[in-house]
Structure 1
Amino acid sequence: MVINLNVPQSQPSANLKVTLLVETLKNGQFAASIFEFPNFRVEAQTREEAIAQLQATFLERLSHIEAISWNVPLDASAPTWMLFAGVFQDDPDFQEIIDEIRAERTSDDDTEVDSSYYL
Structure 2
Amino acid sequence: MQYQIFIQSQKDNFIASVVGLPNVIVEANTEEEAISKAKSALQAQLATGKFVTIEVNPQEISHQETTQMKYAGIFADDPTFDDFMDKLAAIRKESNATIDE
TM-score, scaled relative to structure 2: 0.52
Which structure has the highest helix share of the two? 2
Change (3 A) 1:51 1:73: same
Q: How many residues align?
A: 63
- After superposition, give the CA deviation of every residue in 1:15-69 in whole Å (9 maximum; x if it has no partner): 2x32111111022x11111121122111111111111011001111101112111
Higher relative contact order (CA 8 A, sep 6+): 1
Residue identity matched to 2:16? A
Equivalent in the alignment of 1:38: 22
RMSD: 2.4
Q: Which residue of the other structure, out of 14, 39, 55, is the alignment partner of 1:71? A: 55
TM normalised by structure 1 equals 0.45
Query: Counterpart of 1:49?
Result: 33
> How far off is 1:70 after superposition?
1.6
Q: Percent identity?
A: 25
Report the CA distance shift for 1:80/1:55 in structure 2 as closer, same or farther (over 3 A): same
- Bigger Cα Rg: 2
